[in-house]
Amino acid sequence: METEAPIREVIEEIKGYGGDAVKYCYQCGKCDTVCPWNKVTKFSMRKLIREATFGFPEIDMEETWRCTTCGKCPQQCPRDVKQVDDVVALRRLAISYGVSPALLKPVRIAGASLVADGNPLVVERAKRADWAEGLNVKVFSEEMELLYFPCCYVSYDQRLKKVAQATVAILQKAGVDFGILGVRENCCGESIRKTGNEELFKSLARENIKTFIEAGVKKILVTSPHCYHTFKNEYPEFKVNFEVVHISQYLAEFLQEGRLQVRGEYGKKIAYHDPCYLGRHNGIFDEPRGILRSIPGLELRELAESRENSLCCGMGGGRVWIDTKMQERFSNLRVEETVGLGAEVLVTSCPYCIIALEDSRSGLNYEDTLEVKDITEILQEVI
The total domain count for the chain is 3
User: Residue 70 and residue 356: Cα distance in Å, rounded?
Assistant: 14
112 located within any domain:
no
Q: Do residues 52 and 64 lie in contact, with contact meaning Cβ atoms separated by under 8 Å?
A: yes
pLDDT at 1: 39
* DSSP summary character for residue 2: -
Identify whether residues 234 and 121 lie together within a single domain: yes
Q: Which of 260, 122, 286, 278 is nearest to 190 (CA)?
A: 278
Give 225: exposed, middle or buried? Use CB within 10 Å, 0-12, 13-18, 19+. buried
d(CA 369, CA 371): 7
Annotate 137-199 with DSSP letters as a single string. PPBP-TTSSEEEE--HHHHH-HHHHHHHHHHHHHHHHTT--EEB-GGG-----HHHHHTT-HH
Nearest to 324 by CA among 350, 370, 363: 363
Structural domain boundaries enclosing 369: 262-380
Q: Which of 44, 69, 100 is the last residue of a domain?
A: 100
pTM of the model: 0.92
Those residues with Cβ within 8 angstroms of residue 378's Cβ, 6 or more apart along the chain or in another chain: 266, 270, 291, 292, 295, 298, 345, 347
pLDDT (tens digit, 0 to 9) for every residue of the chain, 383 residues total? 344 455 555 555 555 554 555 567 888 889 999 999 999 999 999 988 887 766 655 767 788 899 999 999 999 898 888 889 888 988 998 888 888 888 899 999 999 999 999 999 999 999 999 999 999 999 999 999 999 999 999 999 999 999 999 999 999 999 999 999 999 999 999 999 999 999 999 999 999 999 999 999 999 999 999 999 999 999 999 999 999 999 999 999 999 998 998 999 999 999 999 999 999 999 999 999 999 999 999 999 999 999 999 999 999 999 999 999 999 999 999 999 999 999 999 999 999 999 999 999 999 999 999 999 999 999 999 98
C-alpha angle 316-322-323 in degrees, rounded to nearest 5: 120
Domain shared by 236 and 324, yes or no: no
Q: Are residues 136 and 244 in the same domain?
A: yes
17 and 66, same domain (yes or no) = yes
In a domain, 342, yes or no: yes
Other CB atoms within a 10 A radius of the CB of residue 382 amount to: 17
Q: What is the pLDDT of residue 23?
A: 65
